[in-house]
């Protein structure tokens, strides 16, 4: 049996997402709440929340994707919901929302590649999750997230639609 190469954060995320999927049947909101709570518990109280979230975003997304994959969950719903949850938690903790969105999106794309899934669709779902979180947070966050993703993530511009007003 191949041993998982997950870190402690990955393993906790994986288990939490498996629990959320099993109890709700891949309800996006359950994944958002699970990931958001996990980010807050992991990062709260550290000095620089933005840097801490940027450093852990990839691990969190990787754990979520592995968990969804293990129980047959929808990887794209998981990607979108996980990125949303990370960006929302970052905002709640006072982190730079744009940097958090980029880190979460990059982490999702990398994790999706390792999982062997469609990178183009994973990029679109990750970008949309970050945008939805930015829109929910507020006008400034929405604009900052869109600008950061457009300049930092290959293919993001194609996935970004103007905010609804």
Per-residue confidence (pLDDT) for residue 130, from 0 to 100:
95
Per-residue confidence (pLDDT) for residue 76, from 0 to 100:
92
CB-based contacts of 116: which residues, under 8 Å, 6+ apart?
A: none
Global pTM?
Answer: 0.80
Rounded CA-CA distance 79/4 in Å is 20
Cβ–Cβ under 8 Å, residues 111 and 58: yes
Per-residue confidence (pLDDT) for residue 64, from 0 to 100:
84
Per-residue confidence (pLDDT) for residue 13, from 0 to 100:
65
Q: Compute, in degrees rounded to 10, the torsion defined by CA atoms 48, 86, 146, 160.
A: 160
Residues of the chain with pLDDT under 50: 1-6
Per-residue confidence (pLDDT) for residue 1, from 0 to 100:
30
Per-residue confidence (pLDDT) for residue 160, from 0 to 100:
81
List pLDDT tens digits, range 100-133: 999 999 999 999 998 899 999 999 999 999 999 9
Per-residue confidence (pLDDT) for residue 3, from 0 to 100:
39
Rounded CA-CA distance 116/8 in Å is 22
């Amino acid at each position: 049996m191949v041993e998982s190469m997950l870190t402690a954060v990955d393993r906790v995320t994986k288990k939490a997402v498996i629990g959320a999927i099993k109890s709700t049947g891949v309800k996006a909101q359950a994944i958002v709440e699970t990931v958001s709570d996990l980010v807050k518990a992991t990062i709260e109280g550290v000095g620089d929340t933005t840097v801490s979230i940027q450093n852990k975003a990839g691990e969190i997304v990787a754990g979520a994707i592995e968990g969804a994959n293990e129980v047959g969950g929808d990887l794209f719903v998981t990607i979108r919901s996980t990125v949303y949850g990370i960006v929302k938690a970052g905002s709640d903790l006072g982190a730079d929302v744009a940097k958090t969105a980029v880190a979460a999106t990059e982490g999702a794309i990398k994790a999706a590649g390792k999982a062997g899934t469609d990178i183009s669709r994973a990029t679109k779902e990750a970008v949309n999750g970050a945008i939805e979180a930015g829109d929910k947070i507020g006008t400034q966050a929405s604009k900052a997230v869109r600008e950061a993703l457009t300049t930092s993530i290959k293919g993001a511009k194609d996935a970004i639609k103007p905010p609804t007003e």
